[in-house]
Amino acid sequence: MGKEQRWKPQERKGFRATGISEACQRSALLTWLLSWHTFKSFYCHSCGCWNEEAGSSRKVEIPLVTDVLKRVVRSCVAAAGYSVGEFAALVFAGALSFAEALYAVKVRAEAMQKASEAVPSGMLSVVGRREANYKFACLEARQHCESLGVANPVCAVSNYLFPDCRVIAGHLQALEFLQENARKYYFTRTKMLPVSGAFHTRLMEPAVEPLAEVLKSIEIQKPLVCVYSNVDGKKYMHSKHIQKLLVKQVVSPVMWEQTMHSVYERKQGTEFPYTYEVGPGKQLGAILKKCNLKAWKQYKHVDALEDEEAAET
């Protein structure tokens, strides 16, 4: 990236630190960067919790915003984003600006698409019985590919969703082999996903450098709210940590099930936080229900785009 293209650091407009309260815990699951941007405009600017601290006088008054929703944002203590949604979580937490995150996502998407076009590959959703051994199944699928003359084949778990459910990604020949031998590996259901490549595997290695270069050129700050990484299910510690793991995430499995356990781990008898999924669809809510039924009972979905349209009518 040339010097003239380098992103200029923008003024940080984040939460008031005093607004984050452990006494009224709320978490947020973020799936889509644009949804977070509209959610931020709709729910946050109306109560001024983003801009008043930075001295901005901008304030959008929308009658549909309730005091409860204002408190949700002010008191949020944790956020996580699934795959590319991790950028949305980091914007939410004040670690990235929206514009810079959007540019990084664009570069990431283009680089991953280019990597996908280099090798016929895909992703297979698998639900298995308790006896299922996903690593062994992937090993035999790779051996099958080698017997077909595929050099250095890839077949590995790319997403840990909930108990007994995984997404396996790799060469198409490997995924076809798993579908044909589903009974042997105790898979009860398999379904090819409508994607163009084996995301979160080493087939995405060509996308690593372009994303790494972009992340070096933008301002990353320590999150004001705990954000959990897809790579290991643990909290981000500082800006360099974020930069390193966002790059590693491209070629690493999404540890979403493990992240859910980290987010909701608490002493027996402690109340679970309110959880808000921001974005189109309720897939993360469905996964949370499978991972932790008690936590799911405090779950709500927010489709920020629909809410914004309702506010404009």
233 vs 110: CA distance, rounded Å: 26
- Angle value at C-alpha 216, between 211 and 219, nearest 5 degrees: 115
Radius of gyration of the chain (CA): 21
203 vs 194: CA distance, rounded Å: 17
Active site residue 262: no
Phi and psi at 185, nearest 5°, equal -100, 10
70 vs 53: CA distance, rounded Å: 15
Active site residue 301: no
The 8-class DSSP code of residue 42 comes to I
Phi-psi region at 280: left, alpha or beta (left = phi > 0; alpha = psi -120 to 50): beta
290, amino acid identity:
K
- Angle value at C-alpha 113, between 304 and 37, nearest 5 degrees: 20
Q: Give kind and range of the element (H or E) at residue 252.
A: none
What angle in degrees, to the nearest 10, is found between the helix axes of 208-217 and 98-118? 170
Catalytic residue among 37, 45, 144, 200: 200
Say if CB 151 and CB 136 are below 8 A apart. no
51 vs 56: CA distance, rounded Å: 5
Please state, in angstroms and as integers, the Cα–Cα distance from residue 223 to each residue in 78, 148, 176, following that order.
10, 48, 42
Residue 227: which of 9, 12, 29, 15 has the closest Cα?
29
Q: Which residues are catalytic?
A: 83, 200
